[in-house]
Structure 1
Amino acid sequence: MDMLDFSLTILVLVLLILVLVLLISTIVTTMVWPFSSRPRWNPGGRHCYITGGSSGLGLSLAILLTKRGADVSIVARNEANLQKALKQLEAARINPNQVLKAYSFSLGTQEAAADALDAACVPHGGRTPDAVFLCAGKSTPGFFIEQTEESMRKGMDETYWLAAWSAMAATKRMVHTRSKGKIVFISSVLGYFGMIGYSTYSPGKHAIRGLAETLRQELLLYSVEVQIYLPVTMYSPGYEEENKSKPELVLKIEESDSGLTPEKAAEGLYEGMQRGDFHITDTLIANVFRTSTRGASPFGSSVLKDLLFSLIGTIALPFWRKDVDRQVVGHRKAHLEYLASKGILAVE
């Protein structure tokens, strides 16, 4: 047996051992979790405020929480979509006392975000929401070379600032009213790494993670819990829209990705909240990136599993990166021809 065969054999054995230990850890965690001393968050009778609640993850989460007895307020810009979403919430209610409301607001400024939150508190006697979910956001993929100052600023507006202004409104209100609630940010697996085509999106998702990391610690002062969900691709109306501007190369790189439906993503988010995770991830690839870029963030519900995911990332991610780099370099000629056709690249 030569050294290459020997190395491959060792690698396969290590991976098999990792899979076995991961399986055992998952079984043990599943058995122990229901008996954990940590109280599970119960949305029944609580007021849940959801931005971006008229479609995608926001709507799926709103329906899930409604089915569990929560009072739900959804906020979005499009009134027609909000009314359609509200009908779905009404169909999901489990008791006649649930308060289900929809509010049309643009959340792009601090003032508008505060006004929207204040409006949602009125039917509850002014009481601050028990949980605020920041699902609003948008992605418009494209090459960095084609971006403008306007598109770059818009990218941050539609990712980071939409979350930041509502988080600020919620924080100020929770602290002022001495409410011990929770704020849940929605980032993306692209908040762990960057990828070609997402120069107007990934920076905002990284920024959301940075804000959540900061507030997790700062809001301990007020007994307000902060969590952040970082999902993989979601097959939502927003995903269909972003594919219209997504470069061919990016579509090619992503063609083997396995994504989530908004319903499945909502379930993953909810289960992570029940576990009490700070960083909530619910797929293998997201877990690998989470543990490989954890920094000083708290471990998940199983330290052993996190260490195993991190080890898998140490082995596998360099191969993944090299494969993506290879595809990018292989597309160089076609890309330069594309830029020349757009007048961006000088013709030789």
Structure 2
Amino acid sequence: MFGFSKRWDPHLKHCFATGGSSGAGLAFAKLLAQNGAYVFIVSRDQAKLNKALEELEAARQNSQQVFRAYSFSVNTEAGSAAAIKAASKPFDGRCPDAFSLCAGASRPGFFVEQTEESLRTGMEQTYYAQAFTALVSPMRHRKPWSSKASRLKGKIVFCSSTLGYFSMVGHSTYSPEKFAIRGLAETLQSEFMLYGIEVHVAFPGTIYSPGYEEENRVKPKVTLKIEETDEGATPEVVAKIILDGVRSGKFHITVDFIGNVFRSSTAGSTERNSYALDWVHGLIGYIALPIWRNSVDSTVLKHREEHEVYLRERGLLS
């Protein structure tokens, strides 16, 4: 927080990345490769993984680096355990030094349209896909520090979203999972101090990726209207900011101005990134966020008649 800690260097570190075949997950993996890390990426789509592996090879900095791609579903304990075991094998079973958990998906829609299956799927694709990797990680089995010689620090980087600080219409199967990831990271940031594992959680906003394009195809019109002024960022920009935050030891990592405003306004007892700047961002939030929220609510209410027609067309309103 005060800028005195030694910056983390991924050079020749064994890094494990879920959601590493596209979007911000792949961009983050490529940055690690460009910084000399060994990188192991995991996702479910083998074709995308093969292409991603080629991009990692193009980012190679030295002949020592090892790159691998594995197809596993990490939204189960068994799948996560198998993925970590496969990534540890080239290192004689030694656990990765750092975990980047970017697996997740968004399927926007109105809550009244959701089913038990869609709600469970949202949790599996977003929360469980990160939680189970942290759960089965051999890093958690490290003994509490007993000597200076055992103080080898590990890293776990969770990926939440700006929608992990607030939410609105259309994000009922996504935002709750991102809130849950924040809660998990808050817990483990405290608990994993016992094992010399540093926990980080990133809160990116809109990321211009194939996943974003896909979610916009089904996103409610009112949500698109509210988000039309949102300034997003490319996966490369987001990944660089997250890596800079990890290297400098930040716990909550936000990638833009509005993210900093929401972070500072909802910080609770979370450690601050900068007392001076966070105070300014918090003051801005105290004044501006209620005004912004009123505009959001006004937009939602103007959509009421159109929404009633929408519900009737789908047989959800008699």
Q: TM-score range by the shorter chain?
A: over 0.9
Rounded to whole Å, the distance in 2 between the matches of 1:45 and 1:174 is 21
Distance (whole Å) between structure 1 residues aligned to residue 95 and residue 118 of structure 2:
35
Matched, 1:220 2:187: no
TM-score by length of 2: 0.95
Q: Which residue of 2 aligns with 1:159?
A: 126
SS, match of residue 140 in structure 1: coil
In the other structure, the counterpart of 1:121 is 88
| Superposition map of 1:261-272 within 5 A | 261-272=234-245
Q: Counterpart in 2 of 1:89?
A: 56
State the match for 1:168 in structure 2: 135
Indicate the residue corresponding to 1:306 in structure 2.
278
1:174–1:180 contact (8 Å) kept in structure 2: no
CA deviation after TM superposition for structure 1 residue 174, in Å: 4.2
TM-superposed deviation, 1:173: 3.7
Matched residue, 2:147? none
SS at match of 1:85: helix
Q: 2 CA distance for matches of 1:115 and 1:134?
A: 16
Q: Which position in structure 1 is the counterpart of 2:298?
A: 326
Query: Which letter maps to 1:297?
Result: T
1:101 aligns with 2:65: no
Match of 2:11 in 1: 44
- Distance between the aligned counterparts of 2:142 and 2:229, measured in 1? 48
> What residue in structure 2 maps to residue 336 of structure 1?
308
How much has 1:180 moved relative to structure 2?
2.6
1:128/1:174 contact within 8 Å kept:
no
| Matches of 1:45 and 1:336, distance apart in 2 | 57
Unaligned 5+ runs, structure 1: 1-28
1:13-72 Cα offsets, whole Å, 9 max, x none, are xxxxxxxxxxxxxxxx9xxx8xx4311000000011000000001100011110110000
Question: Per-residue deviation at 1:215?
Answer: 0.3
Deviation at 1:274, TM superposition (A): 2.1
Query: 1:256: which partner in 2?
Result: 229
Where does residue 102 of structure 2 map in the other structure? 135
Instruction: Decide which of 144, 169, 172 is 1:196's aligned counterpart.
Output: 169
Q: 2:245 corresponds to which letter in structure 1?
A: G
Contact persistence 1:52–1:75 (CA under 8 A): yes
Which of the pair is proportionally richer in helix?
A: 1
Give aligned-pair identity as a percent. 53
Report the count of equivalent residues: 311
TM-score, normalization: structure 1? 0.87
2:142–2:195 Cα contact (<8 Å) kept: no
CA contact (8 A) 2:139 2:154 kept: no
1:54 partner SS: coil
Alpha-carbon distance in structure 2 between the residues aligned to 1:309 and 1:339: 40
**CA distance in structure 1 between the partners assigned to 2:245 and 2:4 by the alignment:** 16
Tell me the distance in 1 between the aligned counterparts of 2:157 and 2:234.
19
Corresponding position: 1:281 with 2:254: yes
* 1:65 has 2:32 as partner: yes
Letter in 2 for 1:44: H
CA-atom RMSD in angstroms:
1.3
1:297 to 270, 292, 302: 270
The one-letter code of the counterpart of 1:175 is: H
1:64-104, Cα deviation, whole Å (9 max, x unpaired): 11011000000001111100000000011011110011011
Structure 2 counterpart of 1:158, which letter? Answer: Q
For 2:282, the aligned partner's letter is: S
- Give secondary structure in 2 for the equivalent of 1:209: helix
Q: CA deviation at 1:127?
A: 1.3
Question: SS state of the match for residue 227, structure 1?
Answer: strand
- For residue 139 of structure 1, give the secondary structure of its aligned residue in structure 2: coil
Q: Look up the equivalent residue of 2:305 and give its one-letter code.
A: K
**Larger RCO: Structure 1 or Structure 2 (Cα < 8 Å, ≥ 6 residues apart)?**
2
Amino acid at match of 1:228: V
